[in-house]
Structure 1
Amino acid sequence: MSYIALARRYRPRRFSEVLGQPSVVRALSNALDADQLHPALLLTGTRGVGKTTLARIIAKALNCETGVSSTPCGTCSACTAIDEGRFVDLLEIDAASRTKVDDTRAMLDNVQYAPVQGRYKIYLIDEVHMLSGHSFNALLKTLEEPPEHVKFVLATTDPQKLPITVLSRCLQLHLRALPEATIRELLDHVLGAEGRDAEAGAVALLAEAADGSMRDALSLLDQALAHAGSEGLAEASVADMMGLTGQHGLVHCLEAIADGDGQKLQSELRELAELAVDHGALLDDLATLLQAAAFQQAFAQDDADSARGRDAALIAKCLSSEDLHVFYDMAVHARRDLSWAPSARIGFEMAVLRMWCFRRDTAASDSAPPAGSASTPSTAAGGQGSTAGASLNDEAVARSAAFDAAADVSVDANTDKPSSTGARASTPTEAARAWHARVEAAAIDGYARELARNCVVETEDEGTLQLAMARSMDHLLTEERRLKLREAFGKAVQIRCVDAVADWTPVEMLRSAREQAVEDAATAIEQSPVFRLLADRLGASLQREDIQLLH
């Protein structure tokens, strides 16, 4: 005898064996026991959750020789024939291969004839959303008023594609994706019935990979048993079969980031590259792992049987809540931008490097010594790290020192403008206003205009225009943009980068003008009669930070 797949061998034969669909089973059982089953049923849900199985159980319940009930005997000739797929009054139609209206008409021509073997003739139309529009139109009248001896059971994974005229004629029952715990229970039962041993972690991996589909879980179990041969199912063997070996590398990468161990991180990235893993899928796994770790921290979940749960618990202890949330965003954005990366490997490794740099900078800022105290760069970094990690911290400390030196110019906290107590006036000088007007009137656009807006005039003569720009904005400075400014102003343009400019830049004046416009708009709203009435009667208040200009 040829081998029968586990998904077929362990298909439920009665309603009591159906797992994970209690509401659907209850509705069908009550209708059958009262002999009030709707003539047209629509079963919806993702793949492998029991749509076809329920349809066959319904056929047995309607045609069992003991009578119509929710508990068919399973031993009579009708029940046996349905289980073996040879019951002539159960017509299973694959709509994906019979989409034409002629096929539907040929099927409906036989509806009027009485059943041959059973009490009812059952039409099971699988993937019904694949029918053409004309086929649906041909089906409508019969679906609404079928003969008394006919029942229609429609099954689909995509009910949104069905016409509303079909949905209104059917009793729709939605089958849910199965939870991992339910899938694990069935896999344990099947393994016991097959006399095979398995580690709890291996079963958890199979249940997780099934993604809510019982058929997928049993198909994966079939593959795992073939992969293991005569041996028991080991977690490492199942992970290798499913290509999940890279997930352990993800855990090691996150541990290296948490420990500040640059050498370990480089070694793990090299090993992942040598494994030739799918780096796009690896980014998905990374985001999933970080989400599970965040849940572990927030709710202290206990999922010791799950490989993902154990890994998540380990990561939750290594990283702070803030790091987990930021790393998750980095992984999701890297997955979104993966198509723009030179290769999937580069996109994945850059995401991990962003996490590394963020974590190292955070550690350096958290452990930075108070002002005036003596400290080495390695102490400020907060960890032993590698030589490469130490050099990154040295650069971070140097950048921080440069920023502190530039911060000698005091800034007003409310307007982001220099205050009158700083090194420059609290309002723009006439020279700054003249430069602003000159930039806005110039025939330049794009980044060249942004470059000019972030500069102030130092000196100017007949042939040369000397500008100054804050060092923090030097990424705008390119030779091409400087030449565009030269063409616009008709003289050589020289730009010097300084720690802090001595006057207001055009971009600061534009920002100040927009802030003043928002303030004026808020004042106008608060003084309007309608708002005053709302404030007096309802206690309304205006959230100024929510006001946005439309131009």
Structure 2
Amino acid sequence: MSDSPQPYRVLARKYRPRNFRELIGQDAMVQTLGNAIKRGRLAHAFLMTGVRGVGKTSTARLIAKALNCIGEDGHGGPTIDPCGVCEPCRAIAEGRHIDVVEMDAASHTGVDDVREIIEAVRYAAVSARYKIYIIDEVHMLSKNAFNALLKTLEEPPAHVKFLFATTEVNKVPVTVLSRCQRFDLRRIPAELLAGHFAHVVEAEGVGAEADALSLIAQAAEGSARDGLSILDQAIAHAEMGEGEPMVTATQVRDMLGLSDRGSVRRLLGLLLEGDTAALLSGVRDQYALGVEPLALMRGLLELVHAVTLVKAGRDVVSPGQSAEEREALADWASHLGFAPLHRLWQLLLKGHDEVAGAILPIESCEMALLRIMHAATMPDPGELARLLREGGPAAAATPGAVAAAPSAGPAANLPATFEDLIEALWQKGKGQLAQELHDCVGLVRYAPPELEYRATPQLPSDFATRLTQTLREMTGSGWRVTASDAAAQPTLLEREEAAKAEARADILEIPVVKAAMAAFPDAALVETDQPEQWSA
């Protein structure tokens, strides 16, 4: 009679790291632990925190193995590279070591559960070097349970180590945090995840396209466990060919309801061109292919963010990025200014939130994109105000102005120039802000409701916050006030002083004045109370 087949183990369990070399993306923590073990500077309590699936519990088990490993010859000591073959290593890996106790705080929250630990720590380890308590999701312990643990946690017996893991470190009392050596496990970069998944599919005898693994890595959002779960699903979804199953990027997009990058680029191009019919048709085509409206909005957000980074001079490289995409990003970055990109981002973000909570997601997506397309042709509020003021009805009748007029609201009444803004602040009784703008601000760009400036050393550090709040209250519009290191105009105070110096020099060159100054060497040219009047 043949043996029954072994039950299938999901990839997230099968490929848990067995040693610190297999723990990806946490090099800083591994180095710190390794140095502590070599130097004999081991803390009595460790706290691992981070998002789901980055290796908190796995790290705790690896630390338990590292501290209790005795080596293949049975005479080894604590090591950052446990052998994995000695009895303590194998017992810990299989979860059967009597001296390594794992407790799930989510189901053992009370003080009685902690009291059992407090009673047990008094006794020495049965067969291991250290008695180790691993408490997962430690933030779930009750307040009384934490209080009961404090004294033991601060001064445990030398043979006891505590290893805590949590996804919500902010819920752990400070009194507990101060007694632990804390490790913040980082999200794993998509590039590392994709490489890890490549090794996994190779070990599983499965074929996979590089783009497919990149898509899975991006969908995992830094979590190895989430990524392996998605990969497990993708392998099950893959079609069986003549030999091994093949995971393709198209299948992964279909499975996750993602839009491919090329489609998102085409939609953004149509959005910027203002082609309404083609845009709506493209959105419906993606929806018919199974792309979720929320995923579509997210794809557009990611693309606008990438364009903005290129505009700012940062080299954007992501898994699966094609030459066509890099060319498109560079082209958009060269033609779009920061102000339109920021406006596009804000409108897409608002549309994303609307789609996320909408009863009719695809309809909300279409309406959001139409609103964005409409706003893309609008002039800046300051430009609209100038057109209406200087050009009269003819200027206001332009298509952009007509489109903007119903929706601009209070934005059309924003101060048209930097000097008008200062005057408006004086009239509203905001003399301090007006004086700071006049004396200490070098203007880089003024395009209401955006103000970019270069500060002088005399400008208070909270200036931008105070000005933003005041302008919002005055105008009813949201302002963006940002400091910059870009080239700026002189401050208004510097301009006025320069004008006075020039006027003084001109007066001193007048023949009569020159003769008077020569006749009376002690005379001085002073300014009177009346502007632009001088007396000797």
Distance 1:474 1:7, change over 3 A: closer
Displacement of 1:86 in angstroms is: 1.3
Displacement of 1:403 in angstroms is: 9.4
Rounded to whole Å, the distance in 1 between the matches of 2:8 and 2:65 is 25
- TM-score by length of structure 2 reads 0.67
Displacement of 1:159 in angstroms is: 1.0
Aligned to 2:393: 406
Correspondence 1:211 to 2:221: yes
Aligned to 2:10: 5
CA displacement, residues 511-534 of structure 1 (integer Å, 9 cap, x when unaligned): 9996662589479979xxxxxxxx
Displacement of 1:297 in angstroms is: 4.1
Correspondence 1:175 to 2:185: yes
Displacement of 1:245 in angstroms is: 3.4
Q: Which of 141, 149, 162 is the equivalent residue of 1:139?
A: 149
CA displacement, residues 270-294 of structure 1 (integer Å, 9 cap, x when unaligned): 3244456543343233212211232
- TM-score by length of structure 1 reads 0.65
Q: Tell me the secondary structure at the aligned position of residue 172 of structure 1.
A: strand
Aligned to 2:267: 253
Rounded to whole Å, the distance in 2 between the matches of 1:523 and 1:197 is 64
Give, as a single letter, the amino acid of the residue that structure 2 aligns with 1:517: Q
CA displacement, residues 176-210 of structure 1 (integer Å, 9 cap, x when unaligned): 11111111221122222223222111111011111
Superposed CA RMSD: 3.9
Give, as a single letter, the amino acid of the residue that structure 1 aligns with 2:393: A
Correspondence 1:23 to 2:28: yes
Displacement of 1:97 in angstroms is: 0.7
Q: Which of 232, 241, 253 is the equivalent residue of 1:239?
A: 253
Aligned to 2:331: 317
- 8 Å CA contact retained: 1:290, 1:312: no
Displacement of 1:258 in angstroms is: 3.8
Rounded to whole Å, the distance in 2 between the matches of 1:520 and 1:48 is 52
Q: Quick one: percent identity of the two aligned structures?
A: 40
Distance 1:100 1:267, change over 3 A: same
CA displacement, residues 526-548 of structure 1 (integer Å, 9 cap, x when unaligned): 9xxxxxxxxxxx99689999595
Aligned to 1:148: 158
Aligned to 2:369: 352
Q: Please show how residues 106-505 of structure 1 align to structure 2 within 5 Å.
A: 106-230=116-240, 231-245=245-259, 249-275=263-289, 277-299=291-313, 301=315, 303=317, 305-306=319-320, 311=325, 314=328, 316-318=330-332, 320-322=335-337, 323-338=340-355, 343-359=360-376, 404-406=391-393
Give, as a single letter, the amino acid of the residue that structure 2 aligns with 1:166: V
CA displacement, residues 4-56 of structure 1 (integer Å, 9 cap, x when unaligned): 22222222222222221122111111122233311111111111111111111
- 8 Å CA contact retained: 1:89, 1:117: yes
Rounded to whole Å, the distance in 2 between the matches of 1:513 and 1:212 is 51
Rounded to whole Å, the distance in 2 between the matches of 1:82 and 1:54 is 12
Distance 1:259 1:144, change over 3 A: same
Q: Tell me the secondary structure at the aligned position of residue 252 of structure 1.
A: helix
Count of matched residue pairs:
410
Q: Which of 86, 96, 102 is the equivalent residue of 1:76?
A: 86
Rounded to whole Å, the distance in 2 between the matches of 1:207 and 1:276 is 20
CA displacement, residues 405-447 of structure 1 (integer Å, 9 cap, x when unaligned): 52699xxxxxxxxxxxxxxxxxxxxxxxxxxxxxxxxxxxxxx
Rounded to whole Å, the distance in 2 between the matches of 1:15 and 1:259 is 52
Moved over 6 A (4+): 339-342, 400-403, 472-476, 522-526, 541-545
Rounded to whole Å, the distance in 2 between the matches of 1:340 and 1:302 is 31
Aligned to 1:103: 113
- 8 Å CA contact retained: 1:38, 1:171: yes
In our comparison, the structure showing a higher alpha carbon Rg is 1
Rounded to whole Å, the distance in 2 between the matches of 1:523 and 1:169 is 47
Displacement of 1:263 in angstroms is: 3.1
Distance 1:540 1:115, change over 3 A: closer
Distance 1:525 1:402, change over 3 A: closer
CA displacement, residues 448-472 of structure 1 (integer Å, 9 cap, x when unaligned): xxxxxxxxxxxxxxxxxxxxxxxx7
